[in-house]
Amino acid sequence: MSFNLESSNVATRENRIGSITGYIGSLSDLANQSKCGTLKGCSRCFSQSSSCLSSCALNQLSAIRDVAIIHHGPAGCSVAGANAYYLDKVMARKRGVTTSTVYVGTDMNENDTIFGSAESLRRIILEVNKRYSPKAIFVSSSCATGIIGEDIDSIVDDVKEEIDVPIVAVHCEGFKSRIWATGFDISDHAVLSSIVKPPQQKRNTINFKNFYESARPEIIEMFKNFDLEPIFLYCNSTVEELSRISESLATTCICGTLGNYLGNGLEEKYGVPYIRTINPLGIAGFEAWLREIGRVTKREAAVEKYIEEQRAIYIPQIEEIKKELKGLKAVLGMGPGYTFEVSRVLNELGIEVVWALAWHYDKKYENGDVPPSMQYLLENDVDFEASVADQQNYEVMNILNKYQPDLYLSRHPGSTVWAIKNGTPAVYVADEYMIFGYKHTLEFAQSVLDSIHNRSFEKNLARRVKLPYTEWWYKQNVDEFLEEAKTNGKAVG
């Protein structure tokens, strides 16, 4: 439990230091620390870029159909509107629906930072409402508006009289939180507080929080076996749909980090049970998740029947491919909602995880438990080196360089490139359904195998590129820039 701060040898566990925005140690240590509440973080004296919470928050909200996002700030903040426009169009088209969602900025300039821009914002809100007649309006702040003390709450309150759809202030002052995933909570909070209405009647629906609903058709088919109808959130959701999610039988989520706030909120406010199992990735995850849905919605028998049928089809195939995967070593770096889940799946598939990085770590879930994904690993005696690092690429490179694994798995844009420059094959676990259920677990195993089988691309590239870090850095320990954490006494927190 105590970490040796003096050690410089990163390869042996007993000498590893603890604590972080970062933490470096073994998984079991991380979990045990987490349980007794002794895990500490520490800030860095060198960091590389990561993410803004407004991206998480507003990307979620802008995926809702026929709404307006007004991002009050300089043009760089609202630049996400360009990508939102593209995503909304292609996602709606894929689903065969239309959306008129707009994401606009306010192009705040120097004058506004001196004299304020409340009146301009007011005018902009009214104009957007007139142009597009959105079904809901989200007005977001930014670092700059926060710093100059712009009171967006009052402005929003002010225009409420003139606007007859839900309008809500969304606080996205990036500097006020270090955890960009807080953005997901912010978007859930906005939806819960302004759109969701108390239930009128219970329905046989299940709220399914996800990112881009790529497995929508097959999940709809699957739930038909249990007489359940999934409502996918928030991509392509309508405001009307969202207003009724309190009527569902349960809420589930493809990723704990993403769905946590909404799930807990709906449970507390409206008694909609939140499914808190490990994620439906891999075999164990999928089955545990389905069984819990069966239990909560009282459909146990149908679920068991389905599991039995599907196992008969897929398990033999998965067993077959496992023979080829055996002995492979992997490093992975993802959000905490995925790192430990994917680690588990890799373990199921017989791939050894030599290091797992979580971009941040939710020590306690909202309900106070250790995250289920970690609980599962502990109960099943799976352990490996783990660290918590908020997308610190230089650390990833250092680890890859030292461990030279067979593959690197990540799911954040731009991250795989660095692995292949190191000559390490990379699997981009981008789609949230890439390892969902039996079928996608099999597909995932196959794509891992394909990535390993042909290493031409990464070998070709790695041979020709120079890495951007100095020789000096590669000689340092991974924890070089973690400021020392004073861990004397019975530390709490």
Residue 124 sits in the site that holds other proteins (CB under 8 A) = yes
Which residue has tokens 């709220």?
207
Residue 402 sits in the site that holds other proteins (CB under 8 A) = no
Among 27, 136, 169, 272, contact with other proteins (rule: CB under 8 A)? 169
Among the residue ranges 137-145, 302-310, 346-354, 442-450, the one whose residues contact other proteins (CB under 8 A):
137-145
Structure tokens at 219: 């999940």
Among 300, 324, 431, 483, contact with other proteins (rule: CB under 8 A)? 483
Q: What sign for the dihedral angle of Cα 395, 401, 406, 407?
A: positive
Kindly state the smallest distance separating residue 251's Cβ from other proteins, in Å: 12
Identify which of 269, 263, 233 has the alpha carbon closest to the alpha carbon of residue 250. Answer: 263
Residue 65 sits in the site that holds other proteins (CB under 8 A) = no
Residue 170 sits in the site that holds other proteins (CB under 8 A) = yes
Q: d(Cα 351, Cα 330) in Å, to the nearest integer?
A: 7
Q: Burial level of 302, CB count in 10 A (0-12/13-18/19+)?
A: middle
Residue 475 sits in the site that holds other proteins (CB under 8 A) = no
Nearer to other proteins, 354 or 417 (CB): 417
Q: d(Cα 244, Cα 196) in Å, to the nearest integer?
A: 6
Q: Could you say which residues in the range 431-470 bind other proteins, by CB under 8 A?
A: 465-466, 468-470
Q: d(Cα 272, Cα 461) in Å, to the nearest integer?
A: 51
Residues contacting residue 311 through CB under 8 Å, at least 6 positions apart: 438
Residue 193 sits in the site that holds other proteins (CB under 8 A) = yes
Residues contacting residue 346 through CB under 8 Å, at least 6 positions apart: 330, 332, 352, 353, 409
Among 73, 273, 294, 337, contact with other proteins (rule: CB under 8 A)? 73
Kindly state the smallest distance separating residue 70's Cβ from other proteins, in Å: 9
218 contacts 443 by C-beta, under 8 angstroms: no
Q: d(Cα 480, Cα 457) in Å, to the nearest integer?
A: 32
Q: Could you say which residues in the range 237-296 bind other proteins, by CB under 8 A?
A: 260-261, 264-265, 268-269
Helix crossing, 118-132 with 152-159: angle to 10°? Answer: 40
Q: Could you say which residues in the range 348-387 bind other proteins, by CB under 8 A?
A: 360-364, 366-368
Identity (one letter) of the amino acid at 211?
A: F
Residue 29 sits in the site that holds other proteins (CB under 8 A) = no
Residue 50 sits in the site that holds other proteins (CB under 8 A) = yes
Each residue 4-23 as x (binds other proteins by CB under 8 A) or -, in order, gives: ---------------xxxx-
Nearer to other proteins, 268 or 450 (CB): 268
Residue 153 sits in the site that holds other proteins (CB under 8 A) = yes
Structure tokens at 334: 């993802």
